[in-house]
Amino acid sequence: MNFVYHVEGGDFTNAGSTSSQVKRMLKKIGVSPEIVKKTVVALYEAEVNIVAHAYRGDITVDLEEDHIKIVLDDEGPGIPDIDKAMQKGYSTASQKVREMGFGAGMGLPNIKNNSDSLNITSEVGKGTTIEMINYFQ
């Protein structure tokens, strides 16, 4: 099953609504609470990243019997140095993002900690794509 959600950059009111829908969906099909939590924590961080840094993005959720694959594809400034962005404490977040309780350079490391497989590609001036997979067992 495939679901696509649209996210607008700067829309802090709705940041997290996709993660919320995915959480409900995973709970409904009986995925264990631990795996639901790690999946939605990773997704929520990534969704907030689109709102915080990009102009817009699409989140495609591919739900299979034994795993969930989530692809977050955004149009935005891109990440010049992914290794640096993965370092704890490194952040380029605005004051507005910090006021929301984010922007401490913990997002990408936290996404990594909560996903079984993570792949990040980015092109400066175009955007970033994050692909994460979590297995249900």
- Tell me whether residue 6 or residue 27 sits nearer to another protein (CB atom): 27
Minimum CB separation of residue 105 from another protein in Å reads: 8
Subset of residues 52 to 91 that bind another protein, contact rule: CB under 8 A:
none
**If binding is defined by CB under 8 A, does position 104 make contact with another protein?**
yes
Taking the complex as a whole, the smallest distance from the CB of residue 123 to another protein amounts, in Å, to 25
Considering beta carbons, is residue 82 or 104 the nearer one to another protein? 104
3-state secondary structure the chain: CEEEEEEECCCCCCCCHHHHHHHHHHHHCCCCHHHHHHHHHHHHHHHHHHHHHCCEEEEEEEECCCEEEEEEEEECCCCCCHHHHCCCCCCCCCHHHHHCCCCCCCHHHHHHHCCCEEEEEEECCCEEEEEEEEECC
